[in-house]
Structure 1
Amino acid sequence: MQYRLESIRRSKKESQETLAKLINVDVRTYQNKEKGVTQFKQNEMFIIARHYNCKVDEIFLPTNFENQEVL
Structure 2
Amino acid sequence: MQIKLYDLRKNEKRLTQKEIADYLGISVVSYREKEKGRIAFNSDEMFELSYLFNEPMDHIFLPRKHQFGDNNKQHSGK
- Aligned Cα root-mean-square deviation (Å): 2.0
Matched, 1:28 2:33: no
Percent identity over paired residues: 30
| Partner in structure 1 of residue 57 of structure 2 | 56
Match for residue 41 of structure 2? 40
Q: Flag the structure with larger Rg.
A: 2
Structure 1 length-normalised TM:
0.85
Question: In the superposition, relative to structure 1, how do residues 65 and 9 fare at CA in structure 2: closer, same or farther (>3 Å)?
Answer: farther
Q: 5+ residue gaps in structure 2?
A: none
- Cα distance in 1 for partners of 2:56, 2:48 equals 11
* Distance in 1 between residues matched to 2:53 and 2:25, nearest whole Å: 17
- Structure 1 unmatched ranges of 5 or more: none
Q: Give the number of equivalent residue pairs.
A: 70
Q: Does 1:70 align with 2:71?
A: no
| Paired residue type of 1:29 | S
Tell me the CA shift for residue 70 of structure 1.
Answer: 1.1
Q: Distance in 2 between matches of 1:8 and 1:46?
A: 15
